[in-house]
Amino acid sequence: MIFEKRTERIFLAIFFTIALCIPLFLEANSFFVGKVTTILILAVFVMSLDFLVGRVGLVTLGHALFYGLGGYLFVILTPEYEAVNFWVYAFYILGLNALIALVIGAVVLRTSGIYFIMITLAISQMAYYYFFDSLEFGGNDGLFIFMKPETSIFGLSFLNLDNPTHFYYLALLAVLVTLLAIKVILRSRFGRIVEASRLNPERTEALGYNIFAFRLISYVIGSTLAAYAGLLFALQYGYVNPQFMTWEMSGTALVMAILGGMGTIYGAILGTITYEGLLYLFEHMTQDWMLLMGSAIILMVLLLRKGLAGYLEKLLEK
Amino acid sequence: MANDIILETESLSKHWGGIKALNNISLQFHDRQLHGVVGPNGAGKSTLLNMLCGTLQPTSGCIFHKGEQIEGMKPWKFVRRGIGRSFQKTNIYADVTCLENCAVAAQRRFTGSFNLFASRHSNKLVREAAEKALHQVGLESRIHTIAAEISYGEQRQLELAMVLATDPCILLLDEPMAGMGHEESQRIIELLNELKQSYCIVLVEHDMDAIFELSDQLTVLDNGTHLITGTVDEVRNEPLVKEAYLGKEDDEEEAA
Amino acid sequence: MSTELFFVQLINGLQYGLLLFLIASGLTLVFGVMGILNLAHGSMYMVGAYLVWYFVAVTGSFTASAILSAVIALGLGILIERVLIQRLYNRNHLDQVLLTIGMIFVFNSLQSILWGNDPYGVAVPEALSGAVPFTDNSSYPVYRIFAALICVAIAAALYFLVSRTRLGMLIRAGESNREMVEALGVNIKSLYTIVFAIGVMLAAISGIIAAPMRSIVPGMGESVLITCFVVVVVGGMGSIKGAFVGALLVGVISTFAAVLMPTMSNMIIYIFMILVLLVKPQGLFAK
């Protein structure tokens, strides 16, 4: 069983049951389906961050770089007025993104601790300003996707990306695949050494493991998952712009992950839903929603020691 | 005997600014022998061990393993050559079980650690090696206990078990018995006596009785310099050593 | 670039660097002593600027407003430390990050509620409103020279405080060894409160000094925060000397970049920081 905790199993069972049914109830309201789709895509992004920060021990404040890259690479590399195959191009783009992550990772992993936070922040800020100041990539306005890709596999087409409900299930599938992928990796032999490197890097090296290599591979995996989330987000809204890459984006994702319970992975889903839910609620209550959001965050830090997942586990375990 | 030198240092030095933590040390460590290293606090014992396992870069001098020069390599490459070490300060994975602690140590020997899919629990050889190491140090009753929850003495045993689980040919042990009860240390002494039949062991230890009992060769360091290396009797009869270190303790002088 | 332009830019860069130092010094002090990365530090800079704007509008006196704002900031620092930060000393760093991000939300929102979202400006005090002739056809504003001198004075005072006073001794001891400070019979809690409040006040003073030179706009805190990160990382986290050198380097480099390569000017300080970290992974003045 890759889901070790009871709380985890209960939460995921409830989550997937509701998530599968949502379009059935909201079919008529495509705005809400779209809104929930966005939350699912964000959850993929936050899970990938939770994996890196909570499980590998790499606290990055530049994760949004790859979220943005996923979108930009797609728009830049696909022909403008031709519907390409989604799966083929997703494969190319994630491969390319993984290569970029490999190079960036090899650089940033030379530092550690607070310096790692800062160098990842610096690199994502660099990329942000690069796209912000670039004329060929649309500057601050970004780039638009004029043709949604088609999604046939071996000539069989069952997903239409222009249909909000279809897109919704594509995002839900991404959540499931990301969750399973991270859980399998964490349980694997590779995951054992990754865990050991986080708990005690000095000892792990003294047992004969090159922890740099383990961290680098993890960094590439986390970044690639983030890029997939970014690609989906760009496809949902039909554009990509530098706002994908701001440090506020990285920071918000970090807030969601900590709120959910760092390192629990399922907590990332919980944190994303809670954060987005509160945001939606507050935005509709008052113009000064930031005051409520900020106070809610402060309160939750003070009251919840291990995030929402930690709180649920306290209620449900044993 | 001289031809089975497995590890050797040549004019090894470590300077911190102007302070000479270790100066011009040339030593030879033989296979199937236990080589004790003693000296007062600050003599440079831990510095020597840290350089022998690659975590500390020497300021000058060389280290040879089976005739090959190895200083300057990454610490994990030292381990892959079969040089395993235990730490003076207990250095374990506190949040996981004792078995898992040793499994991390053993895994590298049996299976690819870059396997992203196969479950960490699915390799029988890893599990058996980990269990064996725990048995060797006498922790068989603690296999499934979280490492943070066992006693300090037991954590010292676990520390040793983790080194054994890497199956090294050279064991660098930094005060393995510090903090253990009498019964536990007796067990470790027995274990070391048995292990030195097949390994090269470098032992830094404050427990003089234990080190006299165990050592085939004994090196005395003082203030970063090499005083003498010889058999236990040779060292005990060396007047320099008595002056610098052992002479302070009357009963040992009588014992010699 | 003519010699004249070069010198004007150099002075501009140094002056900007000095201001950066003033903001960054509080950030690095708090991190060095308390181990807390205060992401809301930029908000304190914003608070200083808005407070002085508000009081100038009410009283008309820049000096009185500046002093009043700095004192209020000090009080605010004590309040934040006592009510919020103190509860998180035994938590991990990520919780502190989360708390200070929450504080950014709150401060930005309070700014918008209290003062709205229009940009404001503070008039340069009359006594300092002139310009010093530089060459025949260029001159330099007196206020900017005054601002630079104030920054130098505060830097000197900070140096004196840390290296020569009893409080400074405790700060230096607290960086390396909490137990030792407590063994000296000092209440580490009060020490932390004082250090945090000084950090907040330094950020607010920077905002006060910057107010007559820059427009006071929502979000001014965040952009300056990220630049300060670059400064303290280049200098070495926790090192005040490092922050000083880092700030001058960043100030001069970004000023020249804006003139020489405008399309890359935003990126240049990040490239600089990455290069520094590749050569010295702990910054220039790592401990």
How does pLDDT run across A178-229, given as a tens digit for each residue?
999 999 999 999 999 999 999 999 899 889 999 999 999 999 999 999 999 9
Domains of chain C, first to last? 3-119+142-279 (1.10.3470)
pLDDT of residue A154: 80
Residue A123 contacts C where some CB pair is shorter than 8 Å: yes
In terms of phi and psi (left: phi > 0; alpha: psi -120 to 50; beta: otherwise), the region of A205 is alpha
CA dihedral C57, C58, C62, C64 (to 10 degrees): -160
What is the pLDDT averaged over residues B198-220? 90
Q: Taking CB atoms and an 8 Å limit, are C267 and A53 in contact across chains?
A: no
- Residue B110: left if φ>0, alpha if ψ -120 to 50, beta else—which one? alpha
Subunit contact A129:C267, Cβ cutoff 8 A: yes
Cβ of A204 under 8 Å from any chain B Cβ?
Answer: yes
A119: contact with C, CB 8 A cutoff: yes
> Is the CB of A303 inside 8 Å of chain C's CB atoms?
no
Contact B39, B221 (CB under 8 A): yes
C87 or C247, greater pLDDT: C247
- Give the integer Cα–Cα distance in Å for A99 and A69: 12
pLDDT in tens, B115-135: 898 899 888 999 999 999 999
CB burial of residue A79 (10 Å; 0-12, 13-18, 19+): exposed
**Would the CB atoms of A188 and B80 count as touching at under 8 Å?**
no
Which residue of chain A has the CA closest to B114?
A190
Evaluate whether chains A and B are touching (3 or more beta carbon pairs less than 8 Å apart).
yes
Give the integer Cα–Cα distance in Å for C285 and A103. 27
Closest CA to A250 of A22, A48, A26, A9: A48
Is the distance from CB of B213 to CB of B197 less than 8 angstroms? no
Question: Which chains sit next to C, with 3 or more Cβ pairs under 8 A?
Answer: A
A102 in a domain, yes or no?
yes
Please write the tens of the pLDDT for every residue from B33-66. 999 999 888 788 989 999 999 888 999 999 999 9
Chain B interface with A: residues with Cβ < 8 Å? 53, 55, 74-76, 79-80, 85, 87, 91-96, 100, 103-105, 107-108, 111-121, 123, 162, 166
Predicted local confidence at residue A220, as pLDDT: 98
Ordered by start, the domain boundaries in chain B are: 1-82+168-256, 90-167
Domain ranges, residue A228: 6-316
C58, pLDDT greater than 90:
yes
Please report residues of A whose CB lies closer than 8 A to that of C103: 294, 298
Provide the pLDDT for residue A60.
Answer: 94
> Residue A115: inside a domain, yes or no?
yes
**pLDDT of B252 strictly over 70:** no
Residue numbers in C near A247 (CB within 8 A): 226
Per the DSSP assignment, residues forming a β-bridge with B16 are B19
Decide if A1 is inside a domain: no
Q: Is the per-residue pLDDT at A155 higher than 90?
A: no
Q: Which residues of A touch B104 (CB under 8 A)?
A: 192-193, 196, 204, 207
Confidence of residue C108 (pLDDT cuts 50, 70, 90): very high
pLDDT tens digit sequence for C132-189: 887 767 778 899 999 999 999 998 998 888 888 888 887 777 666 666 667 666 777 8
CB–CB contact B80 A208 (8 Å):
yes
Cβ contact A125–C270 (<8 Å): yes
Average pLDDT, chain A: 92
Q: Which of C17-21, C119-123, C218-222 has the highest mean pLDDT?
A: C17-21
Average model confidence (pLDDT) across chain C: 89
Neighbours of chain A (3+ CB pairs under 8 A): B, C
Q: What pLDDT score does B247 carry?
A: 47
Instruction: Name every residue whose Cβ is closer than 8 Å to that of residue B256 and which is 6 or more positions away in sequence.
Output: B233, B236, B237
Judged by CB atoms closer than 8 Å, whether chains meet at A188 and B76 is answered as no
Q: Among the residues of C35-92, which ranges form H helices? A: 41-59, 62-83
Query: What is the CATH architecture assignment of B1-82+168-256?
Result: 3-Layer(aba) Sandwich (3.40)
- Residue C120's DSSP bridge partners are C216
Mutation for testing the B interface, residue in A3, A182, A192, A225 having most B CBs under 10 Å: A192
Total structural domains in chain A? 1
Question: Residue B246: its pLDDT value, please?
Answer: 52
| More confident of the two residues B113 and A53 | A53
**3-class secondary structure, B13:** strand
Instruction: Write out pLDDT tens, residues B171-189.
Output: 999 988 887 888 888 888 9
Kindly report, residue by residue over A261-317, the tens digit of the pLDDT: 999 999 999 999 999 999 999 999 988 899 999 999 999 999 988 899 999 999 988
Q: Which among C84, C266, C277 has CB closest to A119?
A: C277
A195 to chain B, any CB pair closer than 8 A? The answer is yes
Q: Is B114 close to A190, i.e. CB distance below 8 A?
A: yes
Give how far A22 is from chain B: nearest CA, Å.
32
Closest alpha carbon to C106 in B103, A277, A289: A289
Give the per-residue pLDDT at C254.
93
Residues of A in contact with B79 (CB under 8 A): 206-208
User: How distant, in Å, are the alpha carbons of A176, A188, A260, A277 from that of A313?
Assistant: 21, 24, 12, 21
Helix axis angle for A247-260 and A114-133, nearest 10°, is 140
Say if residue C14's pLDDT is above 70. yes
Task: For residue A185, list chain B residues with Cβ-Cβ distance below 8 A.
Answer: 116-117
Neighbouring-strand partners of residue B84: B171
Nearest to C218 by CA among C101, C73, C69, C111: C111
Task: Indicate the pLDDT class of residue A124, thresholds 50, 70 and 90.
Answer: very high
Nearest to C107 by CA among C22, C56, C45: C45
Residue-wise pLDDT for C31-51, tens only, equals 888 888 899 999 999 999 999
Cβ-based contacts of C279 with chain A (< 8 Å): none
Distance CA A101, CA A223 (A): 6
Residue of A243, A249, A241, A245 whose CA lies nearest to A137: A241
Above 50 in pLDDT, residue A75?
yes
Q: How many CA atoms lie within 13 A of B229 on its CB side?
A: 16
Check A254 against C97: CB less than 8 A apart: yes
pLDDT at B244: 65
Q: How confident is the model at residue B255 (pLDDT cuts 50, 70, 90)?
A: very low
**A59, A114, A247: residue with CB nearest C237:** A114
At A7, is the pLDDT very low, low, confident or very high (cuts 50, 70, 90)?
very high
Mutate which of A189, A197, A204, A219 to test chain B, going by most B C-beta atoms within 10 A? A189
